[in-house]
Structure 1
Amino acid sequence: MIQSLDRLILCLGCFWIRFKKIKPVPKEGSFDPETGETGYFPMVLVQIPMCNEKEVYQTSIAAVCNLDWPKSKMLIQILDDSDDPTTQFLIKEEVHKWQQEGANIVYRHRVIRDGYKAGNLKSAMNCSYVKDYEFVAIFDADFQPTPDFLKRTVPHFKARWSFVNKDENLLTRLQNINLSFHFEVEQQVNSVFINFFGFNGTAAGGWLERTTVEDMDIAVRAHLHGWKFIFLNDVECQCELPESYEAYRKQQHRWHSGPMQLFRLCLPAIIKSKISIGKKFNLIFLFFLLRKLILPFYSFTLFCIILPMTMFIPEAELPAWVVCYIPATMSFLNILPAPKAFPFIVPYLLFENTMSVTKFNAMISGLFQLGSAYEWVVTKKSGRSSEGDLTSLVEKPKHQRGVSVPDLDEMKEEIRQQEQKVSRKKKHNRIYTKELALAFLLLTAAARSLLSAQGIHFYFLLFQGVSFLLVGLDLIGEQVE
């Protein structure tokens, strides 16, 4: 009931924002003497942390080098944590190529690679020249921001303390501010734009290396210190979604283990903080416990364990409202803000229930500090940008701001060669024993349900069992090399 109420509140808030056409209004602009343009042009540091990202580094560097911003007021840091010498060389050469084209871009590689991405970003913030920049824009290695990204976001920061975040995950990682819940099967924005706590980290601690969700960590600490957040729903930035089940599984494990680590570490600080009781309740019970702990536990135990086991115990019977009505209501509320997602509701539910095994395991490991809690695997990228994506990078005239884009045909040829190399590598299907074991349980329970004429349970158990079988045999998405 609490879960459905939480979803209902989120949906009502989303519809209210759309009905009232509520949008953050940027402050009035100013005049930039260098370009003669009217606008708000503070000093901006753009960072791209990457690690062995040879499939996507070219498109991401090209995209940030073509951000429409005064060149003297923007510096691009390529923070390369690659341990592969060949990848290091390629990225360094790409940076050098853009430097010759006139881009204000630098290459940085750490000798001691501690703390994963948070350690990489923390190390970069220690550079002496960073103090000259008022804002920091951070993009993952597979991001392709549009040229007007800074112009559409930076003005909202004028005379404010703000944070703009939208993620490729189905729900933004800043769920604690109770914005809209998204169910969209398409590429989402995954960009973080931070006025970095005065850069010295005295306000909220800066980047910490204690969890695998460094952005959620810094956002929660900022929230506890009274910082305000702005959600720009119309600002988008293309990014890459995992193409194989193994990559998606590793990503989801990190995203569900990390919040439990963070909850355990942040709970004393949340209780002692000066924010209101309502905000503390929202953060502890709704954001962490309900959405990160109870939901995976509910999905896993009810649909994967309790329901199939009742088929073997004649005396046990689950009421229809537990099996059908509550899950159906929650699912409807989940996709209500995105009507285009309705055709995908059934496969989405089946796949999400299948993923509950991974999420439940990650949740337990993060909460109790088990071995896999601190596992960090960089999500495998394919770098398959469409021709339309590449064309968007060269829409801006080459002479503008002294920055040009490498020849489009050359980029397409390089991508084609990379895809050919990947296709020549032998791929295989992995076997996931937990999913297969549950597939056997669910299909057996489906057969038992059919024999006992429990039709409403039969169809669910059958399709859910098939879903587990497909995942267990690695027939979802692309196979791994």
Structure 2
Amino acid sequence: MENPNWSMVELEAPSEEDFLRAEHHTAAPANKTRNRNAKQLTWVLLLKAHKAAGCLTSIASAFFSLGSLVRRRVAAGRTDQPPTSADTHEIQKLRTRFFYSCIKLFLWLSVVLFAFELCAYFKGWHFATPNLQLQYIFQSPLAIKGAFDLLYSSWVLVRVHYLAPPLQFLANACIVLFLIQSLDRLILCLGCFWIRFKRIKPVPKHDDTSDLESGQKGFFPMVLVQIPMCNEKEVYQQSIAAVCNLDWPKSKILIQVLDDSDDPTAQTLIKEEVLKWQEAGANIVYRHRILRDGYKAGNLKSAMNCSYVKDYEFVAIFDADFQPNPDFLRRTVPHFKDNEELGLVQARWSFVNKDENLLTRLQDINLSFHFEVEQQVNGVFINFFGFNGTAGVWRIKALEDSGGWMERTTVEDMDIAVRAHLRGWKFIFLNDVECQCELPESYEAYRKQQHRWHSGPMQLFRLCLPDIIRAKVYILSNTSCL
């Protein structure tokens, strides 16, 4: 658009007086003021049209970007269960394709109905119109003016009789679920207050770990420590060093570094770190799988199939970004003594970067509630909570009795916890024993973490629901906490 040589101050719409003057002097020659106002009006209209075209262009580009994003997300969708054969893989692909096709169909239908509602709104069928008499519309043909009115009145009739009742039912169901969740949170908070008031704390029945140096007395069973990792170039040194410095008799501990890396550089670095600690006297082995099936669950399952595992009674699991304190085993393993029903001892997480930014502070608040309120209360009163996948010690007999690690979901930690609880095993949560780790500091890393944490629970619920219904689990008081 060329420059009209008018400044923005000069570009103003003609006043009402100018329009009146123009009506009374249409045949008279135009003076400078009227020419100037007419020219201003032309350029104002052109500028507004240019602005409107820019808005439409930006809206169109935004819709196209949203559509492409939805297509990429749908195309990137995958199931939680890896295929075991070619036929299963094809069936799973067909199910996934059908599922996402239904999602796309629903999205397009929503867009079409939204456009239809916009047309109806601009035509005058406002939602605020009280007492829309549909029967009167159909009974009086003269009341219907045009095919659009007939179509819209039919759509309103469908909404009233077929769409509104199920939507109202879903809204009521959401309200009920919200009330149930609020009641659950209230009970958990009251339970946490009671624990603080009564100073309830899980304590081992016999704490003999003070005779550690002699190696003759105390409860020092054989402990297997596993560090599953995959392409962990940044944190593998800290985690291996922290585990190798655990305060436990060297003859009673074996450390497995379960490397699932597909990067040769990462494999070399981790292997060299393991060799360095072997030379320093640590009882540590490096293990790498050729067939990397089942992700973390497959990695742990493969490690538990080693022949020497039968010589160990307990297994402690630490992710690659966790650094346990030297006294971790001394404060967790003694809880298993003379408590044959105990299958898991879970420690709390602590975060070294919780004050890094606003995102880490919010995560710290959320996870602190999860550990101190949810897991602590459930551990004290019902002896059950979800295994966090790391910073915990399992009785190997409990793992074997529950079926071991399974690759059927991405939440293998929750899966093994549910199956162990259904088999009657008890859990203990130690709120005063902490294991250091790091929180995601960027939104992208946080999004990926939450995707892993939330992609499998519904599938696990579907798989475990029949077993939960048939199970006979009795809630007993945790006598070791008194």
Q: Under a length normalisation based on structure 1, what TM-score does the superposition of the two structures give?
A: 0.53
Contact 2:188 2:374 in 1 (8 A): no
Contact 1:163 1:193 in 2 (8 A): yes
The one of 83, 107, 119 equivalent to 2:262 is 83
Report what 2:393 is aligned to.
Answer: 193
The one of 442, 461, 464 equivalent to 1:266 is 464
Report what 1:48 is aligned to.
Answer: 227
2:343 is aligned with 1:162: yes
Contact 1:207 1:218 in 2 (8 A): yes
- AA aligned to 1:259 is P
Q: Deviations over 1:292-314 (max 9, x none)?
A: xxxxxxxxxxxxxxxxxxxxxxx
Matches within 5 A, 1:199-238: 201=400, 203-238=401-436
Distance 1:69 1:11 in 2: 37
Distance 1:84 1:167 in 2: 32
Structure 2 residue matching 1:82: 3-state secondary structure: coil
Deviation at 1:269, TM superposition (A): 0.7
2:450 is aligned with 1:252: yes
Contact 1:162 1:228 in 2 (8 A): yes
Report what 1:344 is aligned to.
Answer: none
- AA aligned to 1:163 is L
- AA aligned to 2:271 is K
**RMSD between superposed Cα atoms in Å:** 2.5
Deviation at 1:116, TM superposition (A): 0.4
Q: Deviations over 1:314-336 (max 9, x none)?
A: xxxxxxxxxxxxxxxxxxxxxxx
Structure 2 residue matching 1:236: 3-state secondary structure: strand
Structure 1 residue matching 2:455: 3-state secondary structure: helix
Change (3 A) 1:271 1:244: same
2:241 is aligned with 1:62: yes
2:473 is aligned with 1:275: yes
Deviation at 1:34, TM superposition (A): 7.2
Report what 2:76 is aligned to.
Answer: none
Aligned length: 269
Q: Deviations over 1:157-215 (max 9, x none)?
A: 112223122465722598597359xxxxxxx995121112356x2x2111000111111
Matches within 5 A, 1:56-205: 56-160=235-339, 161-166=342-347, 168=349, 170=367, 171-172=370-371, 178=378, 190-197=390-397, 201=400, 203-205=401-403
Deviation at 1:242, TM superposition (A): 1.0
Deviation at 1:220, TM superposition (A): 0.6
2:209 is aligned with 1:25: no
Contact 1:14 1:179 in 2 (8 A): no
Distance 2:464 2:348 in 1: 22
Deviation at 1:15, TM superposition (A): 1.1
Contact 1:197 1:206 in 2 (8 A): no
Change (3 A) 1:270 1:99: same
Contact 1:143 1:239 in 2 (8 A): yes
Distance 1:251 1:83 in 2: 20
Q: Under a length normalisation based on structure 2, what TM-score does the superposition of the two structures give?
A: 0.53
Distance 2:246 2:213 in 1: 16
Percentage identity across paired residues of the two chains:
76
Distance 1:249 1:225 in 2: 34
Distance 1:132 1:217 in 2: 25
Q: Which has the higher contact order (CA 8 A, sep 6+)?
A: 1
Change (3 A) 1:211 1:151: same
Report what 1:424 is aligned to.
Answer: none
Distance 2:288 2:187 in 1: 46
Deviation at 1:68, TM superposition (A): 0.2
Deviation at 1:275, TM superposition (A): 1.6
- AA aligned to 2:190 is L
Distance 1:260 1:196 in 2: 27
Q: Deviations over 1:9-28 (max 9, x none)?
A: 10111111111111112122
Contact 1:167 1:190 in 2 (8 A): no
Change (3 A) 1:207 1:167: farther
Distance 1:66 1:227 in 2: 30
Q: Deviations over 1:19-77 (max 9, x none)?
A: 11111121224586973465310000000000000100000000000000000000000
The one of 180, 202, 209 equivalent to 1:2 is 180
Matches within 5 A, 1:289-300: none
Report what 1:436 is aligned to.
Answer: none
Distance 2:195 2:217 in 1: 29
Distance 1:166 1:27 in 2: 18
Change (3 A) 1:63 1:189: farther
Change (3 A) 1:30 1:233: closer
Report which of the two structures shows the higher radius of gyration computed on alpha carbons.
Answer: 2
Change (3 A) 1:15 1:189: farther
Distance 1:179 1:137 in 2: 19
Contact 1:29 1:38 in 2 (8 A): no
Deviation at 1:80, TM superposition (A): 0.3
Distance 1:213 1:228 in 2: 20
Distance 2:298 2:237 in 1: 23
Unaligned 5+ segments in structure 1 are 181-187, 280-481
